Amino acid sequence: MHCLNLCVKDTVSDAVPFMRDFFSNILELTSFIRHSPKRMAHLRHINSEQEDSQIQSLRPLCPTRMTVKYNALTAIDSQASSLLQILDDIRSDRTSTHEAQAKASGLLRLLESFEFSFAQTIGLELFGMTDELSKQLQNPKLSAAEGLESVLALKMLLNTKRTDMHFESIWRDVEARRGRFKGAEAKLPRLRHAPMRFEDGSRAVEFESVDQYFRVQYYLVLDKVTASICERFESSA
């Protein structure tokens, strides 16, 4: 169980900036809403007016228990429209402080971005699998050999996801989500150059297309979690 926790932590570490930034933003979003009783009450009111009965309560994102990230993601996904509405309300509310309005405006742009939807789609799939494995490993009747077998099964499942066909399926899911919430279109991130004092002669990576950029991010996430499973579990075994 501890090894699995470390595998998930590796996936959202500095080694995978795309997912690291995503979960940092998720933490900021949940903290912004949950730390204010007024905002939580407003969110519950908005949710009560929704027709969807599957809405979950907004959950904290524990920085140490990495394997519970899936529950936090599903809670956000289940009330995406409500979160967009409450952020828009706070941004437009003149009784809110300027700081709160600015924060809400920034978080709203974030939730409407293609990058957020893409990372969330990957996160729901990936951490759904690790969450299931976590439940299996916590079974007191599970032997060490059976536990290792479950881990290897997850590794094989992850390998089946590393195909262009599956990436294209994820891309379609993100586009469908973007269409429902009128989110922003996919675009290449701005190319950033290191200050001259930090330059080592190497050039920043330039992507030829938006598709190529997100495909690389997707494979990077899968490769990192697969490599971490090999390192953490197989070395322990």
Residues 6+ apart with CB under 8 A from 30: 58, 59, 60, 61, 72, 76
C-beta separation of 26 from 59 below 8 A: no
Q: Binning pLDDT at 50, 70 and 90, where does residue 23 land?
A: confident
pLDDT of 192 = 60
Segment 41-84, tens digit of pLDDT: 999 999 888 876 677 788 776 655 655 678 888 888 889 899 99
For residue 106, give the amino acid letter: G
Segment 124-162, tens digit of pLDDT: 998 888 888 888 888 888 888 888 888 889 889 999 999
For residue 109, give the amino acid letter: R
C-beta separation of 70 from 128 below 8 A: yes
pLDDT of 213 = 93
Q: Binning pLDDT at 50, 70 and 90, where does residue 107 land?
A: very high
**Three state DSSP letters for 132-200:** HHHHHHCCCCCCHHHHHHHHHHHHHHHHHCCCHHHHHHHHHHHHHHHHHHCCCCCCCCCCCCCCHHHCC
pLDDT of 4 = 66
pLDDT of 29 = 93
Q: Of residues 18 and 190, which shows the higher confidence score?
A: 18
Give the SS3 label for residue 1. Answer: coil
pLDDT of 149 = 87
pLDDT above 70: residue 28: yes
Q: Of residues 70 and 219, which shows the higher confidence score?
A: 219
Residue-averaged pLDDT of the chain: 83
